[in-house]
Amino acid sequence: MTEKKQSTGRYAYDGLDRVIHEKARLGILTSLAARVEGVLFTDLKELCQLTDGNLSRHLTVLQDAALVEIWKGFKGKRPQTLCRLTDVGRKRFLDYVAVLGAVVSDANEAAKSSRAKKRSDPDGFQPA
């Protein structure tokens, strides 16, 4: 394979799912991935430092994407909402984390290799 073919799209990271990649949704999914039995809405709100409305909106997006499921119930007379990952959600999250790991690895590799090189002004260019 030629060098050009190998580098084409090298850093595209197509596996970074836009639904998951948003900061709040990434936090929600990470919280849920750590707790197979699910997390109560109020606890999830605290873990992710989100308002009721913001968490509710992000959960709707995740539910529409079939990543999370929402369960309604009662503890005594108090209504409660339980959130948890679907099987599909867990797989997509783990796939996403694997790609994110590649991003971190590539970034570390680039940082290490650039430390050894002295930066110079490119020939034929000047600051804009």
Q: Kindly report, residue by residue over 108-124, the tens digit of the pLDDT.
A: 988 888 776 777 888 88
pLDDT in tens, 85-102: 999 999 999 999 999 999
Tell me the sheet residues that pair with 82.
40, 71
HSE, CB side, 13 Å, CA atoms: give it for residue 65: 20
The H-assigned helical ranges of the chain are 3-7, 18-21, 23-33, 41-48, 52-64, 87-115
Domains of the chain: 15-105 (1.10.10.10)
Contact predicate 83/38, CB 8 Å: yes
Residue 2 has pLDDT above 70, yes or no: no
Whole-structure pTM value: 0.81
Residue 7 is predicted with a pLDDT of 65
